[in-house]
Amino acid sequence: MNPPSPAIFLDRDGTLHHDAVYMIRFEDFHPLPGVEEALRILQEAGYRLFGVTNQSGVARGMFTLDQVIELNDKIRHYFSEHGADIEEIAVCPHLPEGTVAQFARDCDCRKPKPGLLLDLARRHNLDLSRSYMVGDMERDVLAGLAAGTRAVLIPPREMARELDNTGRLKEFTTLLDFANSVKSQHQRGF
């Protein structure tokens, strides 16, 4: 077996694209500035790319898991046409207080729990200790740290800074800023 690869785990809503509440139509997909370039830089620096997204709208009966998967495939296709290959976008469809019986339960995959990352790591042979979780919410950071990755927070402007800055957590203003920082670390041989 090949040695495990480092990866970037990306939150979807609010990290790859402007957050639209319970977004299900590709027409509502508007990437944040510089995200395409950021993903290309991270990929060229040797990281495999994955999405990890909570979609409680499934448990709430607002849309189906199949619709989410279809939307995710379109988002992946959009980025692949821009030179960035997101191999899979893993979904948590659960919510304990949901109305769809099949998904109305406590689970191990709804961020801040690390289940989506642990499952991706197992199935895709990823090295969590050399990977990053990137997101716009505290629960993204916590999921990454719980899975054993480093974590990056790209907070929306209104977010209060309540997280301790540990050595494993860094904040950036945009995904592109983060990607350029990874690139320069690699160029300096870290």
Binding site for Zn ion (CB under 5 A): 92, 94, 107, 109-110
Write the DSSP string, 43-110: HHTT-EEEEEEE-TTTTTTSS-HHHHHHHHHHHHHHHHHTT--EEEEEEE---TT-SSGGG-S--S-S
d(CA 42, CA 180): 8
Among 4, 14, 31, 34, the residue binding Mg ion under the rule CB under 5 A is 14
Residue 13 touches Mg ion, criterion: CB under 5 A: yes
Closer to Mg ion by CB, 20 or 102: give it: 20
Contact string 131-150 vs Mg ion (x = CB under 5 A): -----x--------------
Q: Is 44 exposed, middle or buried (0-12, 13-18, 19+ CB in 10 A)?
A: middle
Closer to Zn ion by CB, 76 or 94: give it: 94
Positive or negative CA dihedral for 171, 71, 6, 179?
Answer: negative
Residues in the chain: 190
Residue 36 touches Mg ion, criterion: CB under 5 A: no
Q: How far is Cα of residue 54 from the mean position of the Cα atoms in its chain?
A: 10
Q: Which of 13, 66, 85, 164 is catalytic?
A: 13
d(CA 139, CA 145): 10
Q: Minimum CB separation from Zn ion for residue 140, in Å?
A: 15
Q: Which stretch of DSSP H or E encloses residue 167?
A: none
Closest chain position to Mg ion (CB): 14
* Catalytic annotation present for 13: yes
Q: Minimum CB separation from Mg ion for residue 72, in Å?
A: 14
Residue 35 touches Mg ion, criterion: CB under 5 A: no
Closer to Mg ion by CB, 22 or 185: give it: 22
Q: Contact positions toward Mg ion, by CB under 5 A?
A: 11, 13-14, 136
Please list the active-site residues: 11, 13
